Chain A
């Protein structure tokens, strides 16, 4: 997933903020993951500018699907 996420991060720079957490190493990431009720890795949570979660993907996700969810945030 990393190459896909890296590519999308570059492409959406300035439009969508990417916050990436290694939950083995980040207590903030663990707490956020818990607060979003996410139980599996990887999990991607898409939150719009009103702070509302609009979509979520769990597990391996295609670039096209990621792009669709990112576009829906804008």
Chain B
């Protein structure tokens, strides 16, 4: 009986210790795919935002405060960055940024947030140059039926 009780209390003690260690571990380390609303919180918190699209795409519109680091210059730029600083990364649809996230993770960056659905899923304000672009206006229907195709070369 005493042996069984000791076994139970031992199990409880181990569970408490393991739980405590997990709770004390930094939860935000590694790569985390984030929703647009979570990305909005990160932007508001001042997390470094990296846009890996081309300069032309960046010029059209980008997340507030984003830095443009196209894919072909990511390696050179990232070598100068503090690997402990959290980064939020995105592209148009998440395809290119997924490669960038893998690269940064392999390079030892500790906290990488990935807006996996891309800028097209972003529902906040956008910057265009120094101007803040408003949310898109409602689409005015045409006289004829319309088929919209949204695609990309990627």
Q: Which residues of A contact B (CB under 8 A)?
A: 1, 5, 12, 15-27, 29-36, 38-52, 69-70, 73-74
Contacts and interface: CB of A to CB of B under 8 A. Distances in A.
Interface residues of B, number: 35
A26 B151 CA distance: 10
B57 interface: yes
Interface of B: 53-54, 56-57, 60-61, 92-93, 117-123, 128, 136-154
14 contacts: A5-B149, A15-B144, A16-B146, A17-B144, A17-B147, A18-B147, A21-B148, A23-B152, A30-B61, A33-B120, A38-B120, A42-B149, A46-B146, A51-B142
A22 B120 CA distance: 12
Contacts of A21: 148-151
Contacts of A16: 144-147
Contacts of B151: 1, 20-23, 41-43
Specify which of B117, B137, B140, B151 lies most central, judged by the most chain A CB atoms within 10 Å of its CB.
B151
A42 B144 contact: no
A63 B142 CA distance: 24
